[in-house]
Structure 1
Amino acid sequence: MSASIGSQVRRTAASVDPIVTDYAVGYFNHLSGITYDAVQSKLIDLPSEVEFVCELLRNSGAADDKVERLSKDILTQLSLQLEENQAKLEVTGDTSKRLLDINVLQSHNSKANLNASLGMLGVDNDIEHAGRNMDTRVDLKKLAKAEQKIAKKVAKRNNKFVKYEASKLIDEKRDDDYDSFFLKINPLDFGSAAGKSKDIHIDTFDLYVGDGQRILSDAQLTLAFGRRYGLVGQNGIGKSTLLRALANRELNVPQHISILHVEQELRGDETAALKSVLDADVWRKQLLSEESKINERMQEIEKLRTEFEEDSLENKKLDNEREDLDNHLEQISEKLIDMESDKAEARAASILFGLGFSAEAQSKPTNSFSGGWRMRLSLARALFCQPDLLLLDEPSNMLDVPSIAYLSEYLKTYPSTVFVVSHDRIFLNEVATDIIYQHNERLDYYRGQDFDSFYATKEERRKNAQREYDNQMAYRKHMQEFIDKYRYNAAKSQEAQSRIKKLEKLPVLEPPEEERSITFKFPDCEKLSPPIIQLQDVSFGYNETDLLLKDVNLDIQMNSRIALVGANGCGKTTLLKVMMEQLRPLKGYVSRNSRLRVAYFAQHHVDAMDLNSSAVDWMSKTFPGRTDEEYRRHLGSFGITGSLGLQKMQLLSGGQKSRVAFASLCLTNPHILILDEPSNHLDTNGIDALVDALKNFTGGVLMVSHDISVIDSVCNEIWVSESGTAKRFDGTIFDYRDYILASANDKGVVKKH
């Protein structure tokens, strides 16, 4: 049959690159060796496999009518071959469907294909992708180059582009369960990955969002293994879209590189937090399950052998199966040893502890945690899996300062590639080895630079580009003036023609991209006499035997710039509610100026907005009394300009919604701003604008924040909430961070991998 298929393919695709035809022949020959059960159980969709190869031949230049005939002929031949295979299997007496055909075993041994054994052992989940991941007799390097060349031709001819759907990895609305999706994205490969590069280079691609809006054009993505990349850019530019496209392998990431994307919070259930982290490593979980099933089957085989004669055909088949299972068991053991499976629980517990989970909390079910804590669980699961490519989207948004300090230290020694979207400057300065700047539908690389170096270099690049553009425009103008003046002058016409040619050869320069500047402004407020807000010997709890706060003595003045820090769950939100008189203390008292107006920015401010309304409509309903023009002007002072204020807020980015929330705070003309994680979702320009506005505000500021750079820029006083109380910290935010890291090191939480 091999000769027949080879001649058919080569006649059909005579004009096609031989590398492609060799690949097609090898692929079809491989299909002729698959089992009848594999097709019947839909492990392999034969028509789809044939169509895949035929489409490859079409795209490589083969005539459509010839390929169509080839497709029908090959499908007919393969169907007949399947029937022959099944008839042969029935002759050998294999009625259990768990005893492997000797010929099939030989082909499987060469590939170490675990899927066949899984199916025969009753395991539902595929471990290896059953589509294009097949053995061929073609040089794989040549094949990869040929496929890239073909893909470029096809994309250029059909104007195709990469589109994405939201990542399903940790999405509550996903159709697949986590394990299935993990194995789909990261098929378990028992073949040796030794010598295979884990660098990622994706050459010349376009990326669109679902509605056809292009966010990258002719872009190149290069990620060197072991480097830590910070992806930065303005809100709405498409950074998260790029991460999702990588997470779903919509972009061509080599299959042997494992990927994990932390995007959304974990869906809670009755699973304990520690077990949830252990189960996140689906390879380990699957291997342990397979190891158990193989051991059970081996015991069954030993019992079955006693029922037949020693030299019988049945015992030979059982021996063949046992030999195959022995090989798989050895491979599984090697994999488990490589991933240090015996140390997994201790490593998972250490990661959870570093992210704020006490030993007691680690045994609680995941559905008992709030959204922020479940987000931490998602992060812990990813760190535990230790993928070759770790994708993080604003990981610090749901973390407190201690957890961010732990995460920064952990990532510094992360052995693989990290690709993180973040606007936290201090975090990027500590973690990133390189910065990638996404703007104007392209990616610019700043290798070997942290965020501060990138920011300075980017500005220098922009100035140089502006200088070059201005010089060329002045030169063009000078040349054009000469041409216009002397083009029809007999004495100067030859020189004018020469300058016309020079002008035509000049490279066309685009004017440098101007970054949109954003300005926030909080309204000035009248002065108040003290006390503004004062807490004296305040204790609070829902019963006197279990106090959340004890003996707190703090106060806020009109010129205060205070940062409230501490681990999540230590009473920061409770303290804020006591200050705003939403909760009454059990002991002590809270003094407030009777004319005091307080504005509160909640971390989940979006929950209070009607996203089906425009920003102007929502503000006019929530804070009535002004004209639409006044609301639009006010929104404009927070960067919501033009049509942004008139479109539905559900179409705005997270940073734009935050700006609407900040604008609404000002309508009450507050004396004190209490801000809970104000920098979340804001891009660099937005954070800079917020910092400047808070510095210039004439009232007081109390800020709960994880962003050390914002705290350092705005606040001159640190309050720490820990051990059931809150008190002033003697030092800067960097001193507090060092204190946290020292405590973590003393407990052995932060350590090398």
Structure 2
Amino acid sequence: MSNIAFKIRQAAPGIDQVVADYASGYYNHLLNATYDAVQSKQLVLSEEVSFLQELLENAGGKDDKVEEVCKEMLERLSLQLEENQAKLEVTGDTSRRLLDVNILQNHNSKANINTSLAMLGVNGDIEHTGRNMDTRVDLKKLEKAEKKIAKKVAKRNNKFVKYEASRLINQSKEDDYDSFFLEINPLEFGSAAGKSKDIKIDTFDLYVGDGQRILSDAQLTLSFGHRYGLVGQNGIGKSTLLRALSHRELNVPKHISILHVEQELRGDETKALQSVLDADVWRKQLMTEETKINERLQEIEKLRTEFDEDSLEIKKLDNEREDLEQHLEQISEKLVDMESDKAEARAASILYGLGFSAEAQQQPTNSFSGGWRMRLSLARALFCQPDLLLLDEPSNMLDVPSIAYLSEYLKSYPSTLLVVSHDRSFLNEVATDIIYQHNERLDYYRGQDFDTFYATKEERRKNAQKEYENQLAYRKHLQEFIDKYRYNAAKSQEAQSRIKKLEKLPVLEPPEEQKSITFHFPECEKLSPPIIQLQDVSFGFSADNLLLKDVNLDVQMDSRVALVGANGCGKTTLLKVLMEQLRPLAGHVSRNPRLRVAYFTQHHVDSMDLTTSAVDWMSTTFPGKTDEEYRRHLGAFGITGSLGLQKMLLLSGGQKSRVAFAALCLNNPHILILDEPSNHLDTSGLDALMDALKKFTGGVLMVSHDISVIDGVCNEIWVSENGTVRRFDGTIHDYKKYIISSAGKAGVVKKH
């Protein structure tokens, strides 16, 4: 080991060997700097050594010792560079190297750049300080080393930062699901019996890569078998916490398997049913290994016939067979434990419950739209049944029947569930506990569904406000006495006593401010019926291929109608017929000639120019008013103050939705037709929307998957199924029971 390599180990005795070899190898690489680098003056030694100093300090080296060894490196490198530059000027060296052969031989040790980087398996480019240097670093080993460094630093400081890989690591490469699954959830044959699957992470900080703190001195406690609803305002960091757990950036025990449903499945030619089966990488790997072992056992039987029974070759083959049979038995036990023989039936049942017919299950995944691929991702996770299942807004891409199935399925989920959702009804049915994320902390409401949590939280807030006001009054009383009698000889002793009392009082922090959001839909004049009426309406691409048949419905000024049904059953088609964007093949659509309709779709947000402010976008898209009028109108939907003047790309998803609602109402509509209005809105936004819709003087027709919104606003349910639309006799809760009952008869809602 070279002198520098030895000093690096002294300065940072606790770091991984791969990092130490990398640092010493990099130093020797600088000694062997190329002629071109010097001639173009691209070699800035101070920056190179600073890079090594930062690497060693982050890896756990002692700051003063690391600084000392790096200072020595810089002196040696500077001296060597000066000598070689002088030599170049005198001799006109054309060897393309700045070091002579003797110096190269002096550094031909195990820790030199060729050997140390060979240990890393060198094969790419290291990029930093804006200069490329030819290397052959094994990217997987470097990424693994960097993660180890990040975790050690985080553990030492009790802080966890969302990991950002080195620029050396190719971020554009395709994600390998199988490799990632096995990295997060390694397959072990040892028994996990007796190991607790509770998760308890004491006092930690969580940051995202840009240094923004999400949680401070937080504690995460998840009891096995409980179902937690993680709630909080948009942008508070709930999804970041889920991603940190799913990548084990927080200290989750290795024997606890984790799966996170975050992104839609990347489509290919794999059939939907097979893609769900393939999601269980453990089962897939075990079955592949089982096949290979059986093939090898057959080969061994054939080979045994070619040798004498007492030969050495027979003994070797018998030993190999014994080992293989023993491992095969372990694999079989593992497959039996996971009920591998029932896997296909279970996968088909989950897919059917999420809306995939038997025919659809045999279609390739690339034939499905984004929403259906998201359902496939959800089906894959449910099929795997991890110890910790993480779901991020699972209901956003589902229709009411699929949400009914999912909530029923999750109610009997045997392991731990952590779900981010703003759907109150879904959380009321699924969650056994609520975790409230706010003010960089996590508050636990154990044994409570969402409604109970909401009431308890409000009671806590009122009590905190009352306590705060009482403390303020007490402090004010003490201060008034002190100010009045501090210089009074007779009362000075009492004043001093109160000064000490005041100093001993804890730091007074005001309770968290309750942000209230309001929506206000404008008043509209009354119209005489019919407002919108459908009589025996049929629609399709041809008379032989009807999507809707014999529909008879009407919308009045006081209507509060919810249109429900499975995705693809004609709900959006019906809305377009009502809007006269599509003409029916048969029947008649009657509309009041003075009728004004506002039609909200999820795509309204996508169509906005996010590079401009809300006021500028509205004045361009809906001209005719002053900026002050636009700002006042936006204020009726919670876009107040500077929010209306900043670029909309800086607004949250809920704020963009509010801008879209404000824009729709500029023409004072008589009827609001809303397609999934609750997406992107958090709890306070949903409360504001429901309150405004109930107060609206016109009619409302909405397509929504949010049971709470439907229940809070609508008094009439229309169901789209079997090629027609009919009025449902009952509430939205009755419809859910009808859906679950139908699924039960089909055998798709089963206990685990």
- What TM-score do the two structures reach when normalised by structure 2? 0.79
Structure 2 counterparts to residues 582-661 of structure 1, below 5 A: 582-661=581-660
- Which residue does the alignment assign to 1:44? none
Tell whether the 8 Å contact from 1:614 to 1:649 is kept in structure 2 after alignment: yes
Q: Find the aligned partners of 1:297 and 1:362 in 2 and give their Cα distance.
A: 34
- Which residue does the alignment assign to 2:156? 154
The one-letter code matched in structure 2 to 1:238 is: G
- Which residue does the alignment assign to 2:480? 481
Q: Find the aligned partners of 2:646 and 2:705 in 1 and give their Cα distance.
A: 31
Displacement of 1:422 in angstroms is 0.8
Displacement of 1:651 in angstroms is 2.7
The one-letter code matched in structure 1 to 2:746 is: K
Tell whether the 8 Å contact from 1:12 to 1:66 is kept in structure 2 after alignment: no
Q: Find the aligned partners of 2:173 and 2:435 in 1 and give their Cα distance.
A: 30
Q: Residue by residue, what CA displacement relative to the aligned partner does 1:530-585 show, whole Å, maximum 9, x if unpaired? A: 11111001111111112111111001111111000111111111111111111111
Give the 3-state SS of the residue equivalent to 1:711 in structure 2: helix
Give the 3-state SS of the residue equivalent to 1:356 in structure 2: coil
Q: Residue by residue, what CA displacement relative to the aligned partner does 1:238-271 show, whole Å, maximum 9, x if unpaired? A: 1112112212222221121111111222222222
Displacement of 1:605 in angstroms is 2.7
1:541 matched to 2:549? The reply is no
More moved, 323-332 vs 562-571:
323-332
Tell whether the 8 Å contact from 1:540 to 1:587 is kept in structure 2 after alignment: yes
Displacement of 1:281 in angstroms is 1.0
Tell whether the 8 Å contact from 1:13 to 1:57 is kept in structure 2 after alignment: no
Give the 3-state SS of the residue equivalent to 2:359 in structure 1: helix
Q: Find the aligned partners of 1:481 and 1:151 in 2 and give their Cα distance.
A: 50
1:734 matched to 2:733? The reply is yes
Tell whether the 8 Å contact from 1:162 to 1:251 is kept in structure 2 after alignment: no
Compared with structure 1, are the counterparts of its residues 654 and 328 closer, same or farther at alpha carbon in structure 2 (3 Å cutoff)? farther
Compared with structure 1, are the counterparts of its residues 65 and 162 closer, same or farther at alpha carbon in structure 2 (3 Å cutoff)? closer
More moved, 738-747 vs 529-538:
738-747
Q: Find the aligned partners of 1:249 and 1:396 in 2 and give their Cα distance.
A: 25
Structure 2 counterparts to residues 487-636 of structure 1, below 5 A: 487-636=486-635
Give the 3-state SS of the residue equivalent to 2:156 in structure 1: helix
Q: Residue by residue, what CA displacement relative to the aligned partner does 1:74-124 show, whole Å, maximum 9, x if unpaired? A: 9879x99xx9xxxxxxxxxxxxxxxxxxxxxxxxxxxxxxxxxxxxxxxxx
- Which residue does the alignment assign to 2:679? 680
Q: Find the aligned partners of 2:719 and 2:674 in 1 and give their Cα distance.
A: 16
Compared with structure 1, are the counterparts of its residues 423 and 64 closer, same or farther at alpha carbon in structure 2 (3 Å cutoff)? same
Q: Find the aligned partners of 1:385 and 1:566 in 2 and give their Cα distance.
A: 28
Compared with structure 1, are the counterparts of its residues 56 and 338 closer, same or farther at alpha carbon in structure 2 (3 Å cutoff)? farther
- Which residue does the alignment assign to 1:266? 265
More moved, 708-717 vs 359-368:
359-368
Structure 2 counterparts to residues 688-699 of structure 1, below 5 A: 688-699=687-698
More moved, 408-417 vs 230-239:
230-239
Q: Residue by residue, what CA displacement relative to the aligned partner does 1:33-59 show, whole Å, maximum 9, x if unpaired? A: xxxxxxxxxxxxxxxxxx9x9989946
Compared with structure 1, are the counterparts of its residues 727 and 226 closer, same or farther at alpha carbon in structure 2 (3 Å cutoff)? same
Tell whether the 8 Å contact from 1:164 to 1:208 is kept in structure 2 after alignment: no
Tell whether the 8 Å contact from 1:410 to 1:751 is kept in structure 2 after alignment: yes
Q: Find the aligned partners of 1:540 and 1:153 in 2 and give their Cα distance.
A: 63
Q: Find the aligned partners of 1:320 and 1:66 in 2 and give their Cα distance.
A: 57
Displacement of 1:226 in angstroms is 0.6
The one-letter code matched in structure 2 to 1:239 is: K
Q: Residue by residue, what CA displacement relative to the aligned partner does 1:391-436 show, whole Å, maximum 9, x if unpaired? A: 1111111111111111111001000111011111111111100001
- Which residue does the alignment assign to 2:168? none
Compared with structure 1, are the counterparts of its residues 534 and 56 closer, same or farther at alpha carbon in structure 2 (3 Å cutoff)? closer
Compared with structure 1, are the counterparts of its residues 459 and 422 closer, same or farther at alpha carbon in structure 2 (3 Å cutoff)? same
- Which residue does the alignment assign to 2:215? 216
Give the 3-state SS of the residue equivalent to 1:429 in structure 2: helix
Q: Find the aligned partners of 1:55 and 1:310 in 2 and give their Cα distance.
A: 63
Q: Find the aligned partners of 2:66 and 2:110 in 1 and give their Cα distance.
A: 16
Q: How many pairs are equivalent? A: 656
- Which residue does the alignment assign to 2:468? 469
Compared with structure 1, are the counterparts of its residues 193 and 488 closer, same or farther at alpha carbon in structure 2 (3 Å cutoff)? same
The one-letter code matched in structure 2 to 1:226 is: G
Displacement of 1:463 in angstroms is 1.2
More moved, 55-64 vs 734-743:
55-64
Aligned-pair RMSD on alpha carbons? 4.0
The one-letter code matched in structure 2 to 1:328 is: H
Q: Find the aligned partners of 1:293 and 1:67 in 2 and give their Cα distance.
A: 53
User: Which structure has the larger Rg?
Assistant: 2
Tell whether the 8 Å contact from 1:677 to 1:704 is kept in structure 2 after alignment: yes
Tell whether the 8 Å contact from 1:57 to 1:67 is kept in structure 2 after alignment: no
Compared with structure 1, are the counterparts of its residues 162 and 437 closer, same or farther at alpha carbon in structure 2 (3 Å cutoff)? same
Q: Find the aligned partners of 2:705 and 2:59 in 1 and give their Cα distance.
A: 55
Displacement of 1:62 in angstroms is 11
Q: Find the aligned partners of 1:197 and 1:619 in 2 and give their Cα distance.
A: 56
Tell whether the 8 Å contact from 2:154 to 2:161 is kept in structure 1 after alignment: no
Q: Find the aligned partners of 1:666 and 1:564 in 2 and give their Cα distance.
A: 21
Displacement of 1:174 in angstroms is 6.5
More moved, 318-327 vs 413-422:
318-327
Compared with structure 1, are the counterparts of its residues 709 and 57 closer, same or farther at alpha carbon in structure 2 (3 Å cutoff)? closer
Compared with structure 1, are the counterparts of its residues 242 and 75 closer, same or farther at alpha carbon in structure 2 (3 Å cutoff)? farther
Give the 3-state SS of the residue equivalent to 1:589 in structure 2: strand
Q: Find the aligned partners of 1:220 and 1:375 in 2 and give their Cα distance.
A: 31
Displacement of 1:494 in angstroms is 2.4
Q: Find the aligned partners of 1:605 and 1:515 in 2 and give their Cα distance.
A: 29
Tell whether the 8 Å contact from 2:58 to 2:153 is kept in structure 1 after alignment: no
Q: Find the aligned partners of 1:578 and 1:57 in 2 and give their Cα distance.
A: 64
Structure 2 counterparts to residues 44-443 of structure 1, below 5 A: 58=60, 154-155=156-157, 161-164=160-163, 175-304=174-303, 318-443=317-442
The one-letter code matched in structure 2 to 1:343 is: K
Give the 3-state SS of the residue equivalent to 2:443 in structure 1: strand
Displacement of 1:370 in angstroms is 2.0
Q: Residue by residue, what CA displacement relative to the aligned partner does 1:684-730 show, whole Å, maximum 9, x if unpaired? A: 11001000111111111100011111111111111111111101111
- Which residue does the alignment assign to 2:31? none
Tell whether the 8 Å contact from 1:429 to 1:452 is kept in structure 2 after alignment: yes
The one-letter code matched in structure 2 to 1:384 is: F
Q: Find the aligned partners of 1:683 and 1:708 in 2 and give their Cα distance.
A: 15
The one-letter code matched in structure 1 to 2:574 is: L
Compared with structure 1, are the counterparts of its residues 305 and 606 closer, same or farther at alpha carbon in structure 2 (3 Å cutoff)? farther
Displacement of 1:288 in angstroms is 1.2
Tell whether the 8 Å contact from 2:352 to 2:358 is kept in structure 1 after alignment: yes
Residue ranges of structure 2 left out of the alignment (5+ in a row): 1-5, 21-52, 71-106, 119-139, 166-170
